[in-house]
Amino acid sequence: MSAAEATTIAQTRRRPSTRFLRSELRLLFGRRRNQLALLVLAGPPLLISIAVRSSVSQPGRDAPDFFSSITQNGLFVALAAMTIEMTLFLPLATAAAAGDAIAGEANTGTLRYLLTVPVGRIRLLMVKFAGVVVFVLAAVFVVSVVGMAMGLILFGGGDLTTLSGSQLGMGTGIVRVIGATVYLGLSLTALGAIGLFLSTLTEQPVAAMLATIVISTASFILDAIPQVGFLHPYLLTHHWAAYGDLLRDPVSWAGIEHGLYCAAAYVVVFLLAAWARLSTKDITS
């Protein structure tokens, strides 16, 4: 073998490959339960738009702002659906993807074979987390896109009246809703990091999923108790609803920035914890 050929082979081996990530994404989106989860997530925006349309002559006086604004502009269906689904359905989809990431491989006996490909443990962890992030963003966009589509079909578009009372053009309104979707998706990745860490602690995916949901639910409960208000800014779910600030004019960035900082802190802490656990764990299955 010539020196030039050896150099070419070495460069090829060092070249980053997305093959493992593409394989992980095919696995995630190819599972029937994940496909069913995405289908279930599309249900609430359909139900909301149809329910509001059928009772348009008798709007609820105590309805949240997003719901009372649906008849004015169909884009609010997406925001209303995200508000409903962020408390249970979206965390459940996140927990399903994250909890199964490592524990699922261990449960089926494929984790040991993955690490002998060879795939380093750090790379395995990063690819699994990247897959969770993509799936979570896809889940939130399913809710948002279905909501926008149904809203525009049933209620139309036009200028969007912000929560501040001013009006935005249709294009700007869509951009704001997409921004809200991305923000909620990024916030949910913090829960994904927690689920991934829990997935390294067990070989039972269901246990990791349930524990992740318990943490999410406990955060919502604590956030509703005024007596522990000192904890609220640090809770996982406290800033999730801050995407509503994107529907103000001008945009109120403080809550959004705090939410992103909080999510980033959770991601860093729990990814480091997952790495510490996985790097010292005996892989026997």
What's the pLDDT score for residue 61?
A: 44
What's the pLDDT score for residue 197?
A: 97
Report d(CA 120, CA 126) in Å as an integer: 10
Output the six-digit token pair for 205: 């995916």
CA nearest to 110, candidates 284, 280, 278: 284
Output the six-digit token pair for 159: 């200028």
Ramachandran region, residue 160 (left: φ > 0; alpha: ψ -120 to 50; beta: rest): beta
What does pTM read for this prediction?
0.88
What's the pLDDT score for residue 95?
A: 96
Peptide bond into 226 cis (omega under 30): no
Residue 226: pLDDT above 90?
yes
Summarised one tens digit per residue, pLDDT across range 118-144 is 567 888 899 999 999 999 999 999 999
Output the six-digit token pair for 3: 């020196």
Q: What is the SS3 assignment for 86?
A: coil
Summarised one tens digit per residue, pLDDT across range 73-85 is 999 999 999 999 9
Average pLDDT for the chain: 87
Summarised one tens digit per residue, pLDDT across range 58-102 is 444 444 468 878 888 999 999 999 999 999 999 999 999 999 999
Better-scored residue on pLDDT, 157 or 263: 263
Percent of the chain past pLDDT 90, that is, above it, reads 67
For residue 256, name the pLDDT band (cuts at 50, 70, 90). very high
Residue 50: pLDDT above 80?
yes
Residue 237: pLDDT above 80?
yes
Summarised one tens digit per residue, pLDDT across range 142-163 is 999 999 999 999 999 889 988 8
